[in-house]
A and B are shown apart, each in its own frame.
Chain A
């Protein structure tokens, strides 16, 4: 599985959009980009995933560049409850790809009042 690179921390004002970047320059064609978040002392929570098209759900939007080497998670109107560590991972769908499933350090997003 490809590795991902994320900034260690970001701040965002409450009510503003939070844009969290992720680089995955070695992503392969059958790997999806997933975003999870983890609030302190809880398990990771699924946010969104995509292959190559932009995706939107009730929580967030995912923008994937055309070359698929990077993506941005957008929380349109951040609230204090969105303060968490956000993980960008890539997941393959080939047999055995799970062995390399890891979450890196992620981005600590702090939403400020």
Chain B
């Protein structure tokens, strides 16, 4: 079956701009969670959407937001970009919510560079 698809794979933005990233989960998965990965901080949880509702949120500022559509596809938005937002953004889909024991299936990520 098709895996988790993230688009775009690479993008370059400048400070102050905003960006929207997309994640299509595995068919039948209702949970989509987002992560930021940087060399210094490792991979950190941003938030999770399950059945179109945000269920969990990590310790990130309000500039980071997201949503989930009825087909479980999810988007993540970052507004007023800062240099420190340069990172690999990963999404993962799961049959069950992140705060359970279900397996997380990760996409290949969207690499954002902020200049």
Residues of A within 8 A of B (CB): 32, 36, 41-46, 49, 87, 91-106
The answer to whether A43 touches B92 (Cβ under 8 A) is yes
User: With A and B bound together, what is the CA distance between A103 and B46 in angstroms?
Assistant: 12
- Least Cβ–Cβ distance between B3 and chain A, in angstroms: 9
- Least Cβ–Cβ distance between A103 and chain B, in angstroms: 4
Q: Does B42 contact A (CB under 8 A)?
A: yes
With CB as the reference atom, state the residue of chain A lying closest to B48. A98
The answer to whether A42 touches B108 (Cβ under 8 A) is yes
The answer to whether B43 touches A93 (Cβ under 8 A) is no
With CB as the reference atom, state the residue of chain B lying closest to A45. B106
- Least Cβ–Cβ distance between A88 and chain B, in angstroms: 12
Top 8 closest pairs, chain A to chain B, by CB:
A43-B106, A103-B43, A98-B56, A98-B98, A101-B45, A98-B99, A97-B99, A44-B106
- Least Cβ–Cβ distance between B18 and chain A, in angstroms: 24
The answer to whether B56 touches A43 (Cβ under 8 A) is no
With CB as the reference atom, state the residue of chain A lying closest to B56. A98
The answer to whether B57 touches A99 (Cβ under 8 A) is yes
Beyond known contacts A46-B103, A46-B104: 7 more, CB 8 A cutoff: A41-B108, A42-B109, A43-B109, A91-B101, A99-B57, A103-B43, A103-B44
* Residues of A close to B109: CB separation below 8 A: 41-43
The answer to whether A102 touches B48 (Cβ under 8 A) is no
Q: Does B59 contact A (CB under 8 A)?
A: yes
* Residues of A close to B33: CB separation below 8 A: 98
